[in-house]
Amino acid sequence: MIDLYTESSPNGFKATIALEELALPYRLHHVNIDKGEHRRPEFLSLNPHGRIPAIVDRETGIILFESAAILLYLAEKTGRLLPKEQRARWEAIKWLQFHASSMGPILGQRVHFEIFADEKIPAAIDRYRRLTDDAFAVLDG
pLDDT tens, residue by residue, 49-98? 999 999 999 999 999 999 999 999 999 999 999 999 999 999 999 999 99
Number of domains comprising the chain: 2
Q: Indicate if 71 and 110 belong to the same structural domain.
A: no
Strands, DSSP E only, in 20-61? 26-30, 54-57
- Alpha helices for 22-85 (secondary structure H): 41-44, 67-78
> What's the pLDDT score for residue 41?
98
Host domain of residue 68: 2-78
| Prediction pTM value | 0.89
Residue type at position 45: S
Q: Indicate if 59 and 106 belong to the same structural domain.
A: no
